[in-house]
Amino acid sequence: MERPTPPWTNELPEGAFVTGEPTYPTGKYFNRFKKDEAFGLKYYYFDPTEHGYPKRDDYPLLVFFHGTSNALEGELCINYSGSEMYASDDYQKDLGGAYILMPMANEYRDENGRVQGAWEVEYVEPVTALIDDFVEKHMDGCKAKILLGNSSGGRFTFTISKHHPEKFDIILPVGSCEIPPDEVLDDYDKNGVTLFLAICKHDEFTPFDEVIAPRLERIRNMKNSFIFTPDWTYNGDKGVASINFGIEMGQHCLMNEIQMNVKFDDGTPMDESLPNGVTGWLANELKKMD
């Protein structure tokens, strides 16, 4: 079946082409994740010590928050959240080993078919309790708690860290529709929180020039921040990403590029600002905590 033409194709640079699928595998690493439940939330997790890494008390914890409706996809949510490839050997090697936790929102469809139960403020306390419990139950210690989120999950990284900035070290919202006010960013600075903001300039859901651009200078002035706002979201084959589930959202799904570690299939960087990918950036941040 022929795909609809994305609305932004007339803005593509000369020679660019569009592709409709990510090139990283889906499901290859599902068997590395285990499933559990606590505080009324199901979750998947990855334990590096079950995959060749020794018991230590200084591993980081990567917490991934999925986008709206992804919890309805069951195990596929591992991939859709962006967490699957971070359990791969190469990504784990870059990080020196890392635990992964992927909570699932209690989503459901109402009588009109609309998704209800997505990430909102009422999840803050149970998710915070889940994270604390996970560290105590599965880890011997935690060097850093790192929040990553896609779309509404990206917004939720802001929501939860706004309420508990003292509990988190790095937040990496991807495709968030909003940025907190200055007083929240001030709290991040006071608590030593590093913000990695990631959103594509052609995001179909968030008007970049209206919502994001006016806040970038304030983020640059934070004590610890990194801004990743590429012109285009790419797939591994160097095609500009198009995804259409009744509405075009290829540029909104920058998490696909984050899951590619911001590298094309041939290993070259997608963006010169991240020559060693997200794992390389995170590894450098973790070294600063030594």
- When pLDDT is cut at 50, 70 and 90, the band that residue 1 belongs to is low
* pLDDT tens-place string over residues 47-87: 999 999 999 999 999 999 999 999 999 999 999 999 999 99
pLDDT in tens, 141-179: 999 999 999 999 999 999 999 999 999 999 999 999 999
4 inside domain: no
User: Does residue 2 lie in a domain region?
Assistant: no
Query: What pLDDT is attached to residue 2?
Result: 66
DSSP-based three-state secondary structure for 2: coil
Task: Give the model's pLDDT for residue 3.
Answer: 74
> Which one has a higher pLDDT value, 3 or 155?
155
Residues of the domain holding 216: 9-288
Q: Give the pLDDT confidence score for residue 226 in this predicted structure.
A: 98
Task: Note whether residue 254 is domain-resident.
Answer: yes
- Supply the pLDDT for residue 180: 96
Q: What is the pTM of this model?
A: 0.97
Mean pLDDT of the chain: 97
Helices (H), 97-172: 124-138, 152-163
Is 271 among the domain residues?
Answer: yes
Q: Are 152 and 140 in contact (CB under 8 A)?
A: no
pLDDT for 245 equals: 85
Residue 133 lies in a domain: yes
Q: Which of 255, 257, 252, 253 is nearest to 234 (CA)?
A: 257
Is 69 contained in some domain? yes
In the chain, what percentage of residues exceed pLDDT 90? Answer: 98
State mean pLDDT over 239-243.
Answer: 97
Per-residue pLDDT tens over the stretch 78-108: 999 999 999 999 999 999 999 999 999 999 9
Total domains in the fold of the chain: 1
What confidence score (pLDDT) does residue 281 get?
98
Q: How many angstroms separate the Cα of 248 from the Cα of each of 8, 18, 62, 119, 245? A: 10, 13, 29, 22, 7
Flag whether 1 is in a domain: no
Rounded distance, CA 195 to CA 216, Å? 12
CATH number at residue 147: 3.40.50.1820
- Proportion of the chain above pLDDT 70, given as a percent: 99
